[in-house]
A and B are shown apart, each in its own frame.
Chain A
Amino acid sequence: MLTDLEWSAIRLSMNVALRSVVLNLPLAMMVAWVLARRRFRGRALLDAFVHLPLVLPPVVVGYGLLLIFGSRGPIGSILAERLGIHLAFTPSGAALATAVMTFPLMVRTIRLSLEAVDPGLEEAARTLGAGRIDRFFSITLPLMAPGVLSGAILAFAAGLGEFGAVITFVSNIPGHTQTLPLAMYTALQSPGGEETAAKLAVVSFTLALIGLIASELVGRRVRARLGR
C-alpha cells in the first residue's frame, strides 16, 4: 500500500516528533515553573519570547536555526568541531526545529497544569518537613503529571506535521530528512503524485486524531482518579 520511501517518511516523522518531545520536556517544565510561580522583572519578556515561535513565520525560525546551529554558526561550529555533531540537514536537526516550534504549546499546557496545583498543598508539605526539591517530586510533579503527559502527547502530534522550520533548517532529502509533510509536499509537486499525497494525508489525519484523543483520555482518567 505504502512505498518504502513513504514508510520511511512516517517513521522519520515519529522519530523526530518523539525526540523533540524528550528534548523539550525538562526545559519546558522549568520555564513553565518559572512563569507560573516566580515574580521577577522581565517575566513578561520571557513569556513573550517563549511564545515567539507561535507567531513568527516558521521559515524565520528555520533560518534562525541555520544561523545559530549551521556549520558556521556560533553554536553549530562548536558542536561540529568539538563533538562531531551536525544539526543542519540531519534528522537530529529536524528534531531540534520541531522542538523549537512546539515549545510554546508544551510550556502552555504544563503551565496550566502547574497553576492548577494548589500551593496550599506545597505549604502543607513544608510544615511536614519536605524541602524544595522533595516537595516538587512528591507533591507538585505527581499532581501536574496528567497535564504534562497530555501536553507531551499533544506536542508529539503537532510535531509530526512540522513543515516550514524543518524544510528551511534541514531541507527535504528523501530517506534522510524527508518527514511526512515534506513527502506530501514533494508528492504534490511531482506529476501524478496526488495518490501518494492523499494516502499521506490520511495517515497524518489519523495520527493527529489519535494524538488528540489520547491526550484527552489521559487527562480525564487521572482527573477521575483524583476525584476532580
Chain B
Amino acid sequence: MLEVAFRKRLGSFTVDVEFTVPSSGITGLFGASGAGKTSVLSVLAGLAHPDKGRIAMDGAVLYDNVIGTCVAAHRRGIGYVFQDSRLFPHMTVDANLRYGLRRSRGRMQTNTFSAVVAMLGIERLLARLPHRLSGGERQRVAIGRALLSQPRLLLLDEPLASLDEARKAEILPYLEKLRDELRLPMIYVSHTLEETLRLASTLVLLSEGRVAASGSIDELTARTDVRLLSSRADAGAVIDATVAGHDDVGRLTRLSFAGGTLQVTRTSRTVGTHVRVRVMARDVALALRAPALSSFQNVLAGTVVEVRERSRGDFLVRIAVGEAHLLSAVTFHAVEKLRLRPGLAVHALIKSVAVGI
C-alpha cells in the first residue's frame, strides 16, 4: 500500500493531496489539465520534492519532512512511463530495455526479459533505434523499459495522450494484460475518463491541486455528489459483471452483476469473463410499474436512494438495484410526475444497445 500526503507550492499554485493506493491493481488519477496530476507523479517518483508531508510504500518511508527522510529517485524502485516516452536516442531498443534491468536490485528471473518483450509484442524492434519507431511502438518500449527495472510501483503519465485513436486502441489491450498478469500496483494518470474507467479499479479525483474524492470506481461513479463525474454528460455507474451466457436466438449476451442480470447486444466474450460496463445515466429510464411490452430488454426493480438536482431542471437519481447502484438522469417534470423520493420502489429501464462492453 502506498500512503501519500504532501504539500508543494508551485508559484501561485499549491498541490495539497492525501490519498492511499492499494497494493494491487490500477489507481486512476483523474482530473482536468492543470489539476496537478503530473506534479503528484513527480513527487512520488522523487523527481520533485514536496515542501512537507509523508510518503510511504508498504511501511517503508520514501519521504518525510519531520524525520528528514528523502529517498533519492534512483533508489525508490518506482517506474515511470512518461507521456513522451523518453527513450534514449543513442541506444537501440534492446539497450533501452536493458538499461533499467541492469540497474535493478530485484532478483531477476532469467526469463523476465523475453517474457516482457513477448507480452508487449516488441520482439521485432529490438535492434532498432528509437527514431525508427512509430509512436505506439515507442510507448510499448517505454512501458517495457520501466517494467524491466523491476519496480515496486509503476507510474504511467498519460501514456496514450500523444497517440491517435488507432494507436490508443493498439496499446490499451497491452495495458489491460499488464494489469491482469502482473501483481504490480500502478498509478495511471489521464484526463480521458473513458480510458481511466476501462483500466482502473480505484479512482483519485484531482481538482485544482486537491483530492476532490477517492475510492473504488463503482462506488464513485454511482455517487451524485462527485461533481467531477456527475456533472458530465456521460455520467453513469460503472458495473463489474461476469459474462453469464449467450442467447443466440435473441442475439443477446447475459451479464450477471451484483444487482441481477443485464442483457446486452451479443458479444464474442467467453462465458465467465469478467467485464466492466458503463451504464450512463442518460440511458436509464425510470418507471413505477414494469412496462408490459416494450423495447427495453432490461427492467430492473430497485429503490430510489437519492434525488439530486445537478443543474437547473436536470436531476440525477440514484437507485439501489440489489447490491449495485445505478444513476438515472431525469427532468424536473419526471421527478414531480413520478414523485421520485428516497425509498420509492421503481423499475430501471435500460436499452440493451446502450450498454457497451
Q: A interface vs B, CB < 8 Å?
A: 118, 120-121, 123-131, 134, 138-139, 142-143, 225-228
Report chain B residues within 8 Å CB of A130.
74, 99, 103
Residue pair B74, A127 in contact (C-beta under 8 Å): yes
Report chain A residues within 8 Å CB of B146.
127-128
Identify which of B89, B100, B129 contacts A129 (C-beta below 8 A): B100
Report chain A residues within 8 Å CB of B79.
127-128
Given A124-B80, A128-B99, A134-B103, check contact A143 B149 (CB 8 Å). Answer: no
Number of A-B contacts (CB under 8 A): 75
Residue pair A127, B47 in contact (C-beta under 8 Å): yes
Residue pair A127, B73 in contact (C-beta under 8 Å): yes
Given A134-B103, A138-B99, A227-B129, check contact A128 B145 (CB 8 Å). Answer: yes
Bound Cα distance from A129 to B90, whole angstroms:
18
Q: Chain A residue with minimal CB distance to B130? A: A227
Given A128-B103, A134-B103, A227-B132, check contact A123 B86 (CB 8 Å). Answer: yes
Residue pair A126, B88 in contact (C-beta under 8 Å): no
Tally chain B residues at the interface, Cβ within 8 Å. Answer: 30
Report chain B residues within 8 Å CB of A139.
88
Q: Chain B residue with minimal CB distance to A226? A: B89
Report chain A residues within 8 Å CB of B77.
129
B301 CB-CB contact with A under 8 Å:
no
Q: Chain A residue with minimal CB distance to B99? A: A128
Residue pair A143, B90 in contact (C-beta under 8 Å): yes
Given A130-B74, A134-B103, check contact A124 B86 (CB 8 Å). Answer: yes
Given A120-B84, A139-B88, A226-B90, check contact A129 B104 (CB 8 Å). Answer: yes
Bound Cα distance from A124 to B131, whole angstroms:
17
Given A120-B82, A120-B84, A138-B99, check contact A126 B74 (CB 8 Å). Answer: yes
Residue pair B47, A123 in contact (C-beta under 8 Å): yes
Distance to closest chain A CB from B186 (angstroms)? 14
Report chain A residues within 8 Å CB of B86.
118, 120-121, 123-124
Q: Chain A residue with minimal CB distance to B148? A: A128
Q: Would you mind naming 24 contact pairs between A and B with Cβ atoms under 8 Å apart?
A: A120-B86, A121-B89, A123-B82, A124-B80, A124-B82, A124-B86, A126-B73, A127-B76, A127-B79, A127-B146, A127-B149, A128-B103, A129-B77, A129-B104, A129-B149, A130-B99, A130-B103, A131-B72, A131-B74, A138-B99, A139-B88, A225-B90, A225-B129, A227-B130
